[in-house]
Structure 1
Amino acid sequence: MVKEEEGFKANVPTKIRKRAHIVPREENGIDLSAVSPFAISVCQKLQDAGYKAFIVGGAVRDLLIGAKPKDFDVATDATRKKSKVTRRAIIIGRRFRLVHVNKGAETIEVATFRGFAKQGVTKDEDGVITNDNVFGEQYEDAARRDFTVNAMYFDPISGDLYDYHHGLDDIRERKIRMIGDPATRYREDPVRILRAIRIAAKLGFTIDEKTAAPMHYMQTLLLSVPSARLADEFSKMVLSGSAVACMELMNRYDISIPIPLFDVLKRTFGLPFVRKGLERCDARVALGKSISTSFLFAVLLWHEMKEEVAKSTGKTPGQIYEEAAKKVADSYRWDGLQSRYVSDMAIIWKLQPRFLVRSRRAAMKLLQHPRFRAAYDFLLLRASSGDASHELADWWTAYEGATDEERLEMSKEAEHQDRKERERLRQERAAEGKSEEGEADGEEKEKKKRRRRRKKRFDRSKPSKSEKASSDKEKVSK
Structure 2
Amino acid sequence: MPRAEHNISRADISDNALKVMYRLNNAGFEAYLVGGCVRDLMLGHKPKDFDVVTNATPEQIKGLFRNCRLIGRRFRLAHIVFGREIIEVATFRGHHSDDTALAKQDEQGQLVRDNVFGSIEEDAERRDFTFNAMYYEVANFTVTDFAQGVKAIKRREVDLIGDPDLRYREDPVRMLRAVRFAAKLDMTINPRTAKPINELAHLLSNIPPARLFEEILKLFLSGSGLKTFRLLKQYKLLEPLFPILAKVINAPDSREMALIERVLENTDERVNTGQRVTPAFLIATLLWYPVEEHATKLQAEAGLNSHDAFNIAMGDVLHRQSQRIMIPKRFSTVVRDIWHLQQRLPRRFGRRAYQLLSHPKFRAGYDFLLARGETEGGKILELAEWWTQFQQAAPGAQKKMLTSLRQQEGKAPRKRKRPSKAKSNNHA
- TM-score, normalised relative to structure 2: 0.83
Offset from partner CA, 1:245-300 (integer Å, 9 cap, x none)? 22322333334553445745635765211111111112222223332111110000
CA drift of 1:417 comes to: 2.5
- The DSSP-based 3-state class of the residue aligned with 2:78 is strand
Structure 1 counterpart of 2:171, from 161, 184, 189: 189
Structure 2 counterpart of 1:331, from 320, 330, 346: 320
- Matches of 2:165 and 2:366, distance apart in 1: 47
- Matches of 1:30 and 1:319, distance apart in 2: 60
- Matches of 1:331 and 1:383, distance apart in 2: 27
CA drift of 1:207 comes to: 1.0
Range with bigger deviation, 296-305 or 85-94: 85-94
Q: Is the 8 A contact 2:244 2:290 kept in 1?
A: no
Structure 2 counterpart of 1:44, from 22, 27, 39: 22
Q: Is the 8 A contact 1:121 1:134 kept in 2?
A: no
Structure 2 counterpart of 1:349, from 320, 336, 339: 339
Q: Is the 8 A contact 1:77 1:137 kept in 2?
A: yes
Q: Does 1:274 align with 2:260?
A: yes
Range with bigger deviation, 65-74 or 410-419: 410-419
CA drift of 1:205 comes to: 0.5
Structure 2 counterpart of 1:293, from 259, 279, 285: 279
CA drift of 1:75 comes to: 0.5
1:132-281 equivalences under 5 Å are: 132-156=114-138, 158-256=140-238, 258-260=240-242, 263=245, 266=249, 270=253, 271-281=257-267
Structure 2 counterpart of 1:305, from 291, 302, 306: 291
- Matches of 1:94 and 1:245, distance apart in 2: 35
- The DSSP-based 3-state class of the residue aligned with 1:301 is helix
Distance 1:304-1:267 versus aligned 2 partners, 3 A rule: farther
Range with bigger deviation, 129-138 or 167-176: 129-138
Q: Name the residue aligned to 2:414.
A: none
Q: Is the 8 A contact 2:29 2:54 kept in 1?
A: yes
- Matches of 1:420 and 1:187, distance apart in 2: 62
Q: Name the residue aligned to 2:270.
A: 284
Q: Name the residue aligned to 2:348.
A: 358
Q: Which runs of 5+ in 2 are unaligned?
A: 412-428
Q: Is the 8 A contact 2:295 2:306 kept in 1?
A: no
- The DSSP-based 3-state class of the residue aligned with 1:389 is helix
- Matches of 1:91 and 1:365, distance apart in 2: 49
Offset from partner CA, 1:335-369 (integer Å, 9 cap, x none)? 41112211110100101232223345222211111
Q: How many residues align structurally?
A: 399
Q: Is the 8 A contact 1:40 1:157 kept in 2?
A: no
CA drift of 1:138 comes to: 1.1
Paired letter, 1:165: A
CA drift of 1:168 comes to: 1.3
Distance 1:117-1:261 versus aligned 2 partners, 3 A rule: same
Structure 1 counterpart of 2:399, from 395, 411, 416: 411
Range with bigger deviation, 328-337 or 80-89: 328-337
- The DSSP-based 3-state class of the residue aligned with 1:154 is strand
- Greater C-alpha Rg: 1
Offset from partner CA, 1:41-98 (integer Å, 9 cap, x none)? 2112111211111111111112222223222211011111111232221221123221
Q: Is the 8 A contact 1:115 1:141 kept in 2?
A: yes
Q: Is the 8 A contact 2:105 2:111 kept in 1?
A: no
The CA RMSD over aligned residues, in Å, is: 2.9
Q: Is the 8 A contact 1:318 1:350 kept in 2?
A: no
1:415-430 equivalences under 5 Å are: 415-422=403-410
Counting aligned pairs with the same residue, the percent is 40
Distance 1:251-1:357 versus aligned 2 partners, 3 A rule: closer
Q: Is the 8 A contact 1:116 1:134 kept in 2?
A: yes
Distance 1:133-1:417 versus aligned 2 partners, 3 A rule: closer
Distance 1:232-1:154 versus aligned 2 partners, 3 A rule: same
